[in-house]
Amino acid sequence: MENINLKINGLDVSAPAGSTILEAAHLAGIRIPTLCYLKEINEIGACRMCVVEVKGARNLVAACVHPINEGMEVYTNTPKLIESRKKTLQLLLSNHDKKCLSCVRSGNCELQQLCHEYGVEDEDFYEGGMNHYELDDSAAHMIRDNNKCILCRRCVAVCEKTQGIGVIGPNNRGFATMIGSAFEMGLGETSCVSCGQCIAVCPTGALYEKDYTGRIIEAIADPEKYVVVQTAPSVRAGLGEEFGYPMGTDVEGKMAAALRRMGFDKVFDTDWAADLTIMEEATELLDRIKNGGVLPMITSCSPGWIKYCEHYFPDMTENLSTCKSPQQMFGAMLKTYFAEKEGIDPKKIVSVSVMPCTAKKFEIGRDDQSAAGVPDVDIAITTRELARLIKRCGIEFTKLPEEEFDNPMGESTGAGVIFGATGGVMEAALRTAVETLTGEELANLEFTDVRGTQGIKEASYNVAGMDVKVAVASGLGNARELLNKVKAGEADYHFIEIMGCPGGCVNGGGQPQVSGDVRNFTDVRGIRAGVLYRNDEAKAIRKSHENPEIKKLYEEYLGAPGSHRAHETLHTSYVKRTVNK
């Protein structure tokens, strides 16, 4: 690609043709501040924080959308620019609830950080009108506080463009503009699927998950309760970021140690249940292929995707695997199998999950998720909530030793851990399904065609003389594109994996929040997924059907994959919903 030569702050810079000033400056090691910009998602130049001076231009230009050209001379830090950005921040604060000390984003707020950098005081504009809004807590997973919204529209863009849902947008005009849903509906009244991607991109504390850490502290303090925690694969790939570790650091051992020091009675790994999910899911797939069941079969691990399917593709709910998600399978086994082995009343067990996903908060309240007559999972918290809980409990995370999970529900395989990356469920299922169909051991366990962070992936594998066609989609906008092709007869598959969040669970709505400066120029999904694949490679056992604890579970309790008892405890049902935007 042809390069363009220009000067930025007197420095000779060369950048690919088609680049913006913002991108060219980044290549030169110069940071231009942004608030509204998200690469390829929200390129609207609205916040005016990224304005720069261009020689010959009459006005300041927005670096995030202004293209470079040969010989251009750009200035990014003149007194005029600094004053302009400071004034923008002052105006934003003039209509902003400045309760920073109690804000969930304090210390990790992009607005707060820029105000600190530019020396903006919260009383620069203390006179005049301010808008006041009631909190919207109608959704199962999150709270909207428009008193802290800066109208950057990142949430609107990711909901519409990335997820293809569009249940939020700007209402009213001028000073009265606010982000909300149509007809002033609460978010919980809409077809929101609880994916939390809006929270992930919000630069302030205007959007945040409902925090249930207090309930956990109360449960642990109750001597009548037996409190058990499970942690999803992706949590170990993101949690370290909350404690200063570089992105891509695996903190599995320290996480287990921290949870144990909080006082949980047992610390287990959801990866164990991921292996169990594969046993049931692969069996279900093979049964559908052999006996003329509904195809393509589509994975059911992602609750955001499940609710999306129920709302937007209700005619395809029969295609969904009936398997519960690993979170719910774990809870079901905890309150049946484990409770029986340990002689504990399921009603006294408090089942806690730590997930990278805000939709898990909705999932635990779904119907048909109570194998023991009580909810499979009682409390679901995000990776961010776990970090806050660790800090609140005074645990010095970085100083902790590496510890292992408890057994018998803590032993997992490499197939279980890659569930957190897009394509991971598919690859794990193929490892088991192929060996089951052929009766032969796989020479190569890596199904690289379904790996990677691209939105849609397709592959075909010849297994026992049959071509098994598969597809993977992550991000609900990509899911819609793929399923529309299936419905139109333009694509034919046996098995489809869909994850609600782009890149899979490693990029879930409950993972550590990443600023726009990092998100726009860093492969966050790929770096976090790398943790899981390295974990997989290091495992002695890498196929779900070879997990000795899973084998023992079937021998002692379930009988066989797909058995009557397995269906009673590990499978669920779905509902057809309407669309309400």
For position 123, what pLDDT does the model report?
Answer: 67
Q: Which two tokens stand for residue 396?
A: 């010095």
Instruction: State phi, psi for 350 to the nearest 5 degrees.
Output: -105, 110
User: How far apart are alpha carbons 204 and 93 in whole angstroms?
Assistant: 12
How many other C-beta atoms can be found within 10 angstroms of the C-beta atom of residue 242? 20
Cα R_g (the chain), whole angstroms: 25
The mean per-residue pLDDT over the stretch 91-104 comes to 93
User: Per-residue pLDDT averaged across 366-370, rounded?
Assistant: 97
Task: Decide if 432 contacts 545 (C-beta within 8 A).
Answer: yes
Q: Which of 510, 215, 266, 258 is nearest to 393 (CA)?
A: 258
Whether the predicted pLDDT of 126 surpasses 80: no
For 264-297, the pLDDT digits (tens) are 999 999 999 999 999 999 999 999 999 999 999 9
CA distance 387 to 382: 9
Please compute the mean of the pLDDT values over residues 143-159 and round it to a whole number.
Answer: 98
**What is the pTM assigned to this prediction?**
0.96
Q: How confident is the model over 245-264, as a mean pLDDT?
A: 98
Does pLDDT of 439 surpass 70? yes
**What does the pLDDT average to over 493-500?**
98
Rounded-to-integer distance, Cα 293 and Cα 271, Å: 28
Q: Please give the domain boundaries of the chain with CATH numbers for all domains.
A: 3-77 (3.10.20.740), 105-209 (3.30.70.20), 222-570 (3.40.50.1780)
Q: What integer pLDDT is reported at residue 122 of this predicted model? A: 67
